[in-house]
Amino acid sequence: MSQPLSRGGRSVSAAGDDRMIYWRRLDVPGAELARVSQAGHEYRIEGAVLVVYGGQPYDLRYSVACDARWRTRRATIRGSAAGETVGLDIVADTVGGWQLNGVDWSPVAGCLDVDLGFTPSTNLPAVRRLALSVGEERSTRAAWLRFPELRFEPLTQLYRREAEYLYRYESDGGRFVASLEVDAFGLVTRYGEYWIAETEGAEAGGLR
């Protein structure tokens, strides 16, 4: 079993446990069902997203694997986007290098997180890893898969913890700002005017 992780005075030791959450999109038709699990020293975030954006359907399934410190190690995205087949494989090494479908992707070198622009789930690794106290803020640089273009590029992000379960999130030099409400584990339960958790879903064991 891995060592407990802490965030804001709380801890989790959750090998073999999982957590599920269902989000509804607020600005366009759409929904997502996601699952967070831990096995050994690895965390995995998996989800299925179905949205209609710009009048086009997007049906995407993804998996993100993080190490015990919540640094992204690999991600896969499969499905369809506006009628086009999607198949993306992302790999991050331990020294800041990234590959996209087997090709070195130097623009995102040095990033610790992958941020999939079509889901609120990938804010979780940054929330967990930064472990901010209330009133504290910190910037980080993510390997961002922009939606709906599905273009892989760097994105500087700022997280400020405004209350126990509330963060202010900024990106692109403050041109995008959203309030993130989270649960005790760090999963987003409301992402500005874009996503809201309809239910907490099912919990097994000790992810708190």
pLDDT in tens, 39-70: 889 999 999 999 999 999 999 999 999 999 99
Question: How many domains, the chain?
Answer: 1
Chain length of the chain: 208
Q: Give strand ranges (E) for the chain.
A: 5-7, 10-12, 18-25, 30-39, 42-53, 56-66, 72-81, 84-92, 98-100, 103-104, 113-116, 137-146, 151-163, 166-171, 176-182, 188-191, 195-199, 203-204
The tokens describing 167, both together, are 């963060």
Residue type, 140: T
CA distance 65 to 42: 7
> Domain residues for 182?
5-204
Cα end-to-end span (Å), the chain:
16
Check whether 7 has a pLDDT greater than 70: no
9 neighbors 36 (Cβ within 8 angstroms): no
Check whether 1 has a pLDDT greater than 70: no
pLDDT (average), residues 160-169: 98
CA distance 202 to 88: 29
CA distance 24 to 50: 10
Q: pTM for the complete prediction?
A: 0.86
pLDDT in tens, 119-131: 999 999 999 999 9
Backbone angles phi, psi at 106, to 5 degrees: -65, -25
pLDDT in tens, 92-121: 998 999 999 999 999 999 999 999 999 999
